[in-house]
Amino acid sequence: MTRHYNFCAGPAALPVAVLERARNELLDYQGRGLSVMEMSHRSDEFVAIAERTEADLRQLLGIPTQYKVLFLQGGASLQFAMLPMNLLGQGGSANFIQTGIWGKKAISEAKRLGFNCHLAASSDVNGHTAVPDENALSLSSDAAYLHYTSNETIGGLEFDYTPHAQRDDGVSVPLVCDMSSNILSGPLDVSEFGVIYAGAQKNIGPAGLTLVIVRDDVMGKAPSTIPSLFDYQLLADAGSMVNTPPTYAWYLSGLVFQWLKDDIGGLAAMDAINQRKAQKLYAAIDASDFYSNPIAVRNRSRMNVPFVLADARLDSVFLQQADEAGLLNLKGHRSVGGMRASLYNAVPEEAVDALIAFMADFEQQRG
């Protein structure tokens, strides 16, 4: 068996320790004679797994008691629909800070569903290379919530502040954040948010699970005519088991949370590692005329590092040689081209060191 370094933007690398434990338990979970995949979601064994997973997540993120944690399906993209259907039931408009492709998709879906949308700020003016200044936010007078994307996975643009979701009339509205690609990368003050959501397939677990952390007062306002599996209150009341949840993905996420707690030592320790990884890669890019990254330094993503070669004709040979060197999935998103190294929690520091060494070698050969 060989394990390579995997810089995929998602579905992304998982911790080796998690995969090994999953492998060891795959046919027989703790002597029960069956796989976690083969258990009823209502069995004592699975309920214990589900509860421990939630408790570990609550501990890692310090989630206050007035928040529910939902383990759902459909990806962050389904939340683009579920959010306005839950939060605009009593009217008003969805306000957005748009800093890239994912934020744009969230707006498109809300508009498709016929909801009123307002752009509170956008980084379109600078080509999504810098997050709008906090003072530039302008919420509409009917704003019911403010939505933003804390890290744009494709652009590699990350917020360096938590927006203040306040209208001109002084009313604070729920702050809603798509944290798909940077949740659990470091500590977080959950109490600043009305809703946090994230697709699992970056820092949580395998694709097919969506985490939604929602404050109690935000729920229970959805019209009774939306699909029952869309209603946060119904989902919370049923412990995310209105119907069969994605049990194996839930279990694997629990293993990731245990790894974060026990092997890494929590989110402050994870943050320090992530800072080091990102800083050394950006430093290598900045020290070279051969590689470049266009993002304002304060908004450079710690999770997704896009970069281009001075000569784009070398892209394919760069990618091929990287792949041969065991550095996988460095190709940039099809919408932007170039390269992208995703440095999620499960990507070890050695992987970043190996990438930097490869980049230096390649530059020496071809620069």
Catalytic residue among 56, 68, 178, 231: 178
For 5, other C-beta atoms within 10 Å of its C-beta total: 22
* 56, 68, 102, 271: the active-site residue: 102
For residue 286, how far is the Cα from the chain centroid? 26
Q: How far is CA 18 from the centre of its chain?
A: 19
* Nearer CB in complex with its own copies: 139/355: 355
* Closer residue to its own copies (CB): 139 or 255: 255
Specify the residue, 226 or 314, whose C-beta has the smaller distance to its own copies: 226
Q: How far is the CB of 141 from its own copies (least distance, A)?
A: 26
Closest approach of Cβ 230 to its own copies, in Å?
Answer: 8
The answer to whether residues 48 and 253 touch, using CB atoms and an 8 Å cutoff, is: no
Which of 68, 202, 277, 331 is catalytic? The answer is: 202
143-149 β-sheet, strand order: 67-72, 210-215, 195-199, 175-178, 143-149, 93-98, 117-122
Examine the residue annotation and report whether 202 is marked as an active-site residue of this protein: yes
Say how far apart CA 41 and CA 152 lie, in whole Å.
Answer: 34
Task: Name which of 134 and 315 has its Cβ closer to its own copies.
Answer: 315
Rank residues 176 and 235 by Cβ distance to its own copies and give the closer one.
235
Contact 252, 18 (CB under 8 A): yes
Q: Which is nearer to its own copies, 27 or 272 (CB)?
A: 27
Q: Read out DSSP for 274-312?
A: HHHHHHHHHHHHHT-SSEE--S-GGGB-SSEEEEEESSG
Q: How far is CA 190 from CA 99, 110, 181, 186, in A?
A: 21, 24, 16, 12
Q: Residue 161 contacts by C-beta under 8 Å, 6 or more apart in sequence?
A: 131, 134
Sites of contact with its own copies (CB under 8 A)? 1-4, 6, 8-14, 16, 19-20, 22-23, 26-28, 31-35, 37-43, 73-78, 81, 109, 112-114, 199, 201, 206-209, 224-225, 227-229, 242-249, 252, 326, 328-329, 334
Per the annotation, the verdict on 178 as an active-site residue is yes
Cβ of residue 347: shortest distance to its own copies, in angstroms?
Answer: 10
Q: DSSP 3-state assignment of 360?
A: helix
Least separation in angstroms between CB 5 and its own copies: 8
CB atoms within 10 A of CB 189: 10
Question: Minimum distance from CB of 3 to its own copies (Å)?
Answer: 6
Residue number with CB closer to its own copies (67 or 257): 257
Least Å distance between CB 311 and its own copies? Answer: 25
In the complex, least distance from residue 215 CB atom to its own copies, rounded to whole angstroms: 23
Give kind and range of the element (H or E) at residue 59: helix 44-61
Give the pair of three-digit tokens for residue 104.
């744009």
Q: Report d(CA 22, CA 6) in Å as an integer.
A: 19
Question: How many CB atoms are closer than 10 A to CB 299?
Answer: 21
CB distance 345 to 270 below 8 Å: yes
Give the catalytic positions in this structure: 102, 178, 202
